[in-house]
Homo-oligomer: A and B are copies of this chain.
Amino acid sequence: MTFDLLARDPATKARAGLLHTAHGAIETPIFMPVGTAGTVKAVSQQVLRTDVQAQIILGNTYHLYLRPGLEVLQAAGGLHRFNGWDGPILTDSGGYQVFSLSNTRKIKEEGVTFRSHVDGSKHLFTPEGVMDIQRVIGADIIMAFDECTPWPCEYDYARRSLDLTHRWLQRCIQRFDATEGLYGFEQNLFPIVQGSTFKDLRVQSAEFVAAQGRAGNAIGGLSVGEPAELMYEMTELVCDILPADKPRYLMGVGTPANILENIALGVDMFDCVMPTRNARNGMLFTTQGIVNITNKKWATDFTPIDPSLPGVASTFYSRAYLRHLFQCKELLGPQIASAHNLAFYLWLVREARTQIVAGTFGPWKDRMVQQVMTRL
């Protein structure tokens, strides 16, 4: 995997790059739709490709390990073959889900024991095991196994947790480097910076992660309830330490404004369930602002959802029709809304990239942050 840094914005720390993977190149900054269980909820692979213009999607180790399970995934020849998405894929390590979804988790030096949220069965995730699982899933980019601290978090807990995350990272790297991909193409391991919202811990973690010299680096443990300003402070601190010639991935972020602000601080990759989850609740992100499509005011608005966006979902269907679908709880409602919101997020990062290349990102970003958060 190689990363070409193509342009830097003069007014901010924003960068435009090209990340080459075994399944194709990714233009950065990029937003990665979340396909937790091997499917981006309510969006077909065809719509992802054509309408949404997704370049890379996520899968989740925790979910895929539980269902369909490793036997099925290996028999399929990996996740690409299983779900038919032949572009790049990144898998989250499952660390976050073990802490947020499973019952009776227990953290030990060895790893984490937890019970499945599906059937209550007991499992152990270790750094080595999670590397092996992600070899079977076969994503292009795989993530280290870490502990994602909640917010707020006591300093002592954050420090001890960070030390554990770093020891786990070394075990992940050791196992990863001692193994090979199962399906004939290269996988890459990204380490994750933690440290909650404590500057010294973040600095320490960023330096530790940078020293590993991996092909890309990630920032975790943010967007977990802390104020946005605190998130930006941490991001900037960490981005300034992480190597400039490697892509930087900010995990689980965020709103359109969060994404624009973090691009300005030097982040290259993002993922978040917000565009799809909010879509299923009828909240649309558009180039003009936020639309709650269930609102009565859209009942006779026969204009497209967002005529400025490319993509069938945004331009073919009217707001009135989409509102009707939500009123009737019709399945097509979440389908259209999800495809639209993702198309918007992908448009946002494409447009950011264009502005970076043109050297106009700074003022454009300040304008857009206001615009995209306006309630229509």
Q: By the criterion CB–CB under 8 Å, are A72 and B320 in contact?
A: yes
A40 to B83, CA, bound (A): 25
Q: By the criterion CB–CB under 8 Å, are A331 and B335 in contact?
A: yes
**A interface residue count range (under 10 / 10 to 19 / 20 to 34 / 35 or more):** 35 or more
Contacts of A324 in B (CB 8 A): 37-38, 67-68, 72, 82
A319-345 vs B: 1/0 string, CB under 8 Å? 011011101101110111000000000
Q: By the criterion CB–CB under 8 Å, are B44 and A327 in contact?
A: no
Q: By the criterion CB–CB under 8 Å, are A332 and B72 in contact?
A: no
Contacts of A40 in B (CB 8 A): 332
Q: By the criterion CB–CB under 8 Å, are B43 and A332 in contact?
A: yes
Q: By the criterion CB–CB under 8 Å, are B46 and A76 in contact?
A: no
Contacts of A67 in B (CB 8 A): 324, 327-328
Given A42-B331, A316-B46, A331-B335, A68–B37 Cβ distance below 8 Å?
no
Given A42-B332, A44-B336, A331-B334, A316–B37 Cβ distance below 8 Å?
no
Given A312-B46, A321-B83, A324-B67, A76–B302 Cβ distance below 8 Å?
yes
Contacts of A46 in B (CB 8 A): 312, 316
A38 to B317, CA, bound (A): 12
Q: By the criterion CB–CB under 8 Å, are A44 and B332 in contact?
A: yes
Interface check A371, CB cutoff 8 A: no
Candidates B45, B299, B331; contact of A331 at CB < 8 Å: B331
Interface check A81, CB cutoff 8 A: yes
Interface check A84, CB cutoff 8 A: yes
Given A320-B76, A335-B44, A327–B68 Cβ distance below 8 Å?
yes
Contacts of A41 in B (CB 8 A): 330-332
A108 to B69, CA, bound (A): 60
Q: By the criterion CB–CB under 8 Å, are A335 and B42 in contact?
A: yes
Interface check A308, CB cutoff 8 A: no
A134 to B68, CA, bound (A): 47
- Which chain B residue has the least Cβ–Cβ distance from A329? B37
- Which chain B residue has the least Cβ–Cβ distance from A37? B328
A317 to B299, CA, bound (A): 36
Contacts of A38 in B (CB 8 A): 321, 324
Q: By the criterion CB–CB under 8 Å, are B72 and A299 in contact?
A: yes
A-B contact pairs, 6 of them (CB 8 A): A38-B321, A44-B332, A67-B324, A67-B327, A68-B299, A82-B320
The 3 closest A-B pairs by CB, nearest first: A42-B331, A68-B324, A39-B332
